[in-house]
Amino acid sequence: MITVIYDGQCQLCQNSIDWLSKKLTFDALTYQAAPLEKFGLTLTDCEKQVYALSAGVKYGGVDAVVFLLKARGNRVASLLLKLSGPLGSFTYKMIAANRRSVFVKVLSKLIKKLT
């Protein structure tokens, strides 16, 4: 079973969870309501990035996105993101740090159209 811990106040995060759930079964918990200590996480951890936990492995940030894309069946997108290396990691961090920006709002609306 996969558990995803995400920012419940982030529309991009919520739209992404909705999109993922169309082809993937998982438990989605907002970090604002999740028992973080149960997962070995802190509030500070979760304010910075999404987490995906599966079979005792904890993926954070871009690694969580890569894992979730692959689990959803989007193997090419997963591979491309993984191969992007530092660029993908940097882009993820910029998006996560600017969740309320116009760019992220537009990205969120694009993902919503896919659901």
pLDDT digits (tens, 9 = 90+) for 36-66: 999 999 999 999 999 999 999 999 999 999 9
Can you point out the beta strands (E) in the chain?
Answer: 2-6, 27-30, 51-54, 57-60
Question: Distance (Å, rounded) from C-alpha 2 to C-alpha 92?
Answer: 21
* Run of H or E residues at 74: none
The pTM of the full predicted model, rounded to 2 decimals, is: 0.93
Range of the domain at 107: 2-114
Q: Which residues of 1-13 are buried (b: 16+ CB within 10 A; e: fewer)?
A: ebbbbbbeebbbb
The structural domain count of the chain equals 1
| Contact residues for 85 (Cβ-Cβ < 8 A; gap 6+) | none
pLDDT digits (tens, 9 = 90+) for 65-102: 999 999 999 999 999 999 999 999 999 999 999 988 99
